[in-house]
């Protein structure tokens, strides 16, 4: 069940109406937990038990950590949480990957071996909810958070359906306190939430799903495209993955807001960043901050030697790439971004901010940053390294230009999208959103939906990040 399907609208409307009709806080939380189970069970009811096993493990360990005082005992319980969560994630997501990699490596060494792999189905959202559940244990271990007051609260924190299968990755320190007070409709900013949901819907159904077939063709048959059309196709993939993922995040945040809850901002106009460090402060914010707080800083962060800092960055982005999927192409994507960040830090360390060279670097950053991101998106999207190399070669001019019609069809579309993206950051419609009479807002909102719906792509396409 995805947010752009009709059955989701039915489920959410039912959830919304019953939620606000219930008087007690416990009843509301129990109802939301039930709705979350229905939402997740619509994907595969078998994996509900796995999700509850994960959250039960961390709930119990969190309760023990709240009482345990011995440092050795606390470390042991934390290790148990990490092993349990990563064990589940590793088995379902990486078992076949590591077996296949071992077989390929042994063959390369001239020691052929055979191995049977299990046909393991990847649970939807497992990477998201395991990281979310683990963050709770980390925070309790650090004494930055008290254990959850009830199993119901913790279960709802992990399973809350708006963000369950593709984020944002919510921190317990941000969400659990919201469960302690009874929500009032008067406190809900309904208009911004409704607008945000529509924006997310348009991103996903009207933009990402529209360009998806074209992107699929490019990466399936890159040899059929010339230099200009290949560049346009890669840009379209950048558009697709941004609109797909940020569209989901927008709709998730909006649905949560309509139920009275705040979720973490996950995207902040990343393609307008003028350096790669800023890009990662704006792209998938909840994941990058998770790796920063629970891995990079514990490894020493910026407090260690320069060489150690750079190796830590490489490790973090190696794991970031692996988190995205059990393929070496994802790992290379992560290492490319890690290398970008290292190069950016080297530049900042060696070039004075007041120098002409620094000013020159800043002036071309708006070109170099998206270029670097685009080159990395190629290997992220490509089915294998051969296809990635073919696309890169086409971008550099191999094969000439044999598909001018493709270029002229999509170039204006990309230009318009970029202009809208830049202008939307100014939030020129915010005053109307806040100050317009109810009838005017309702009329404008209805017209916006009427304009958007004819542009919805035929059929429904799962969100890209569901596979992660």
pLDDT digits (tens, 9 = 90+) for 125-176: 888 999 999 999 999 999 999 999 899 999 999 999 999 888 799 999 999 9
- pLDDT of 118 > 70? The answer is no
Could you read off the pLDDT of 224-273 as tens digits, one per residue?
A: 888 888 898 999 999 999 999 999 999 999 999 999 999 999 999 999 89
Average pLDDT over residues 339-356: 83
210, containing H or E segment:
helix 209-220
DSSP 456: S
Average pLDDT, the chain: 86
What is the residue-wise DSSP string for 412-433?
HHHHHHHHHHHHHTT-TTHHHH
Residue 193 CA, chain-centre distance (Å), reads 20
pLDDT the model gives residue 250: 94
pLDDT the model gives residue 249: 94
Banded model confidence at residue 303, pLDDT cuts 50, 70, 90: confident
Neighbour tally for 428: CB within 10 Å? 9
Judge contact between 172 and 157, C-beta under 8 A: yes
Q: Which residue has the higher pLDDT, 55 or 5?
A: 55
Average pLDDT over residues 1-20: 90
Banded model confidence at residue 294, pLDDT cuts 50, 70, 90: very high
Average pLDDT over residues 81-86: 93
| Percent with pLDDT over 70 in the chain | 88
Banded model confidence at residue 119, pLDDT cuts 50, 70, 90: low
Judge contact between 234 and 217, C-beta under 8 A: no
pLDDT the model gives residue 225: 84
Tokens of 452: 């958007």
Location of structure tokens 């595969």: 44
Q: Which residue has the higher pLDDT, 23 or 122?
A: 23
Could you read off the pLDDT of 47-82 as tens digits, one per residue?
A: 899 999 999 999 999 999 988 888 888 999 999 999
* Ranges 20-29, 208-217, 412-421: which has the least confidence: 412-421
Average pLDDT over residues 424-443: 78
Tokens of 191: 């208009």
Listed by start position, the domains of the chain span 6-183, 190-455
Catalytic residues: 324
pLDDT the model gives residue 408: 65
Q: Is 165 helix (H, G, I), strand (E, B) or coil?
A: coil
Could you read off the pLDDT of 199-226 as tens digits, one per residue?
A: 999 999 888 988 898 899 899 988 888 8
Location of structure tokens 């390929």: 104
Q: Which residue has the higher pLDDT, 452 or 258?
A: 258
CA 187, CA 436: separation in Å to the nearest integer? 18
Nearest C-alpha neighbor of 143 from the set 83, 59, 65, 70: 65
Neighbour tally for 43: CB within 10 Å? 18
Tokens of 427: 């939030």
Judge contact between 270 and 179, C-beta under 8 A: no
Nearest C-alpha neighbor of 168 from the set 326, 288, 269: 288
Tokens of 23: 């008087």
């Amino acid at each position: 069940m995805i947010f752009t399907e009709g059955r989701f609208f039915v489920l959410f409307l039912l959830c919304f109406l019953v939620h606000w009709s219930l008087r007690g806080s416990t009843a509301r939380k129990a109802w939301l937990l039930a709705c979350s189970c229905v939402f997740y069970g619509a994907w595969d009811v078998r994996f509900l038990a796995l999700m509850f096993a994960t959250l039960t493990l961390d709930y119990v360990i969190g309760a023990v950590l709240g009482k345990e005082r011995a440092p050795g005992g606390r470390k042991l319980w934390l290790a148990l949480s990490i092993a349990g969560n990563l064990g589940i994630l590793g088995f379902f997501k990486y078992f076949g990957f590591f077996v296949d990699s071992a077989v390929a490596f042994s063959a390369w060494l001239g020691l052929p071996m055979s191995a049977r792999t299990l046909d393991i189905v990847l649970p939807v959202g497992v990477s998201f909810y395991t990281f979310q559940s683990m963050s709770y244990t980390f925070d309790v271990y650090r004494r930055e958070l008290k254990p959850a007051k009830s199993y119901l609260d913790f279960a709802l924190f992990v399973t809350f359906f708006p963000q369950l299968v593709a984020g944002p990755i919510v921190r317990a320190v941000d969400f659990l306190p919201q469960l302690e007070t009874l929500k009032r409709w008067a406190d809900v900013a309904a208009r911004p939430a409704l607008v945000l949901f529509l924006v997310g819907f348009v991103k996903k159904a009207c933009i990402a799903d529209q360009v998806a077939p074209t992107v699929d063709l490019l990466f399936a048959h890159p040899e059929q495209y010339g230099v200009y059309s290949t560049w346009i196709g890669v840009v379209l993939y950048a558009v697709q993955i941004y609109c797909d993922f940020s569209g989901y995040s927008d709709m998730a945040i909006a649905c949560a807001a309509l139920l009275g809850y705040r979720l973490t901002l996950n995207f902040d106009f990343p393609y307008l960043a003028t350096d790669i460090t800023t890009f990662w402060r704006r792209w998938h914010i909840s994941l990058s901050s998770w790796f920063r707080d629970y891995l990079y800083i514990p490894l020493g962060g910026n407090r260690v030697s320069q060489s150690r800092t750079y190796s830590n960055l490489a490790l973090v982005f190696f794991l970031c790439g692996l988190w995205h999927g059990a393929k070496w192409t994802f790992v290379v994507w992560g290492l490319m971004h890690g290398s970008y960040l290292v190069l950016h830090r080297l530049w900042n360390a060696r070039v004075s901010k007041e120098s002409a060279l620094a000013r020159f670097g800043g002036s071309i950053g708006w070109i170099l940053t998206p270029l670097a991101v685009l080159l990395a998106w190629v290997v992220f999207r490509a089915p294998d390294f051969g296809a990635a190399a073919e696309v890169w070669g086409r971008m550099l001019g191999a094969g000439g230009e044999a598909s001018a019609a493709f270029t002229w069809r999509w170039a204006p579309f990309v230009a318009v999208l970029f202009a809208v993206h830049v202008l939307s950051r100014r939030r020129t419609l915010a005053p109307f959103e806040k100050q317009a009479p109810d009838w005017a807002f309702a009329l404008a909102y209805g017209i916006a939906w009427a304009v958007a719906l004819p542009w919805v792509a035929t059929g429904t396409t799962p969100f890209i990040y569901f596979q992660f």
